[in-house]
Amino acid sequence: MHYEGNIIRPPSEANSILLQVTVGCSRNKCTFCGTYKGERFRIKPDSLIMEDIAFAAQHCQRQRRVFLCDGDALIIPQKRLLNVLKEIEKQLPWVTRVGLYANVKALKMKTVDELKELKAHGVGIVYLGLETGDDVTLKNINKGATATQMIEMGRKAKKAGFKLSVTVLLGIAGAERSQIHAQQTGRVLSEIDPDYVGALSLMLIPETPLHQDYVSGEFRLIEPQEMLAELRTMIASTHLTRGLFHANHASNYLPIRARFPKEKETTLQLIDEALAGKVPLKPEYLRAL
């Protein structure tokens, strides 16, 4: 496989064939993210992508899923992306699902019919980084989208028939807007109604703008108990028709996996017990990105 730079993927794609079709992220301006620092976004040559698919055909026959890396594969022009998907269908007929990251810009550029065409050729799940439903915080972290746009594009992905997984970030609003962030994120999640929600806890990355704000005192990273209180408010404010709410990433202090709406109340009770000191939190040295 021809890999360049940092390769990231959702936790649920741990056992997938990682096919890198782009290098970097088409946005690459979020203040908290240092994954693609200094990396110019580009689509990889079709010849390399096809070589990697051929490699997977020979060496990855036990893996049933493909994840298209890097930060935003959906931004690839429709014809080129379809060609990649068709080659996967041809050479990897045992693959049952293709997944990829998407952002508001990429979803906006494609029509619902184009998204449905991608669905027809194997794309089964789309991962959308919401981070927060609070417009003030979205602007502060330079996300490049409003809460309303996030809702519209999330619904668009669902309308196309994709499974939708939305990522949110505990602690991203700092101390002053912590509870506002939690409430507004719950509201936006409720309006999108995704199939999956993944909550991560903020870990500051050196040399990012947000880390610089932390060092200067402009941003206060909230404490573990405050993160937990934020998670409680977020879950209480989230109403999903049917979905899984995950907060079991390596960065989280309290691992949670709850099926909504059935397990929502028991999850809130668990958080209350943790806030009361009856359930231990993950020690700092065990947390990781």
pLDDT tens, residue by residue, 131-170: 999 999 999 999 999 999 999 999 999 999 999 999 999 9
Beta bridge partners of 170: 201
Is the predicted pLDDT of residue 284 greater than 90, yes or no?
no
Over residues 6-33, the pLDDT tens digits come to 888 998 999 999 999 999 888 889 999 9
Cα 141 from Cα 88, distance rounded (Å)? 36
Cis previous bond, 224, omega within 30: no
Average pLDDT for the chain: 95
The pLDDT of residue 211 is 96
pLDDT digits (tens, 9 = 90+) for 90-122: 999 999 999 999 999 999 999 999 999 999 999
The 3-state DSSP class for residue 221 equals: coil
- Averaged pLDDT, 167-191: 97
Tokens 């906006």 belong to which residue?
108
Per-residue model confidence (pLDDT) at position 26? 87
Domains and CATH numbers, the chain: 11-286 (3.20.20.70)
For position 13, what pLDDT does the model report? 94
Percent of the chain topping pLDDT 90: 88
- What burial letters (b/e) apply to 239-278, b meaning 16+ CB within 10 Å? ebeebbbbbbbebbbbebebebeeebeebbebbeebbeee
Structure tokens belonging to residue 105: 């810009």
Asked whether the predicted pLDDT for residue 266 surpasses 80, the reply is: yes
Per-residue pLDDT, 7: 87
pLDDT classification of 244: cutoffs 50, 70, 90: very high
**Side chain identity, residue 145:** A
The pLDDT value given to residue 39: 83
The phi and psi torsions of 97 (rounded to 5 degrees) equal -160, 140
Chain segment 189-207, per-residue pLDDT in tens: 999 999 999 999 999 999 9
pLDDT of residue 107: 97
Amino acid type, 119: K
Q: What is the pLDDT of residue 31?
A: 95
Nearest-CA neighbor of 83 among 123, 46, 41? 46
3-state class of 228 per DSSP?
helix
pLDDT of residue 246: 93
Whether 5 has a pLDDT exceeding 90, the answer reads: no
Interhelix angle 112-120/147-159, rounded to 10 degrees, is 50
pLDDT for 249 equals 83
Percentage, residues of the chain above pLDDT 70: 100
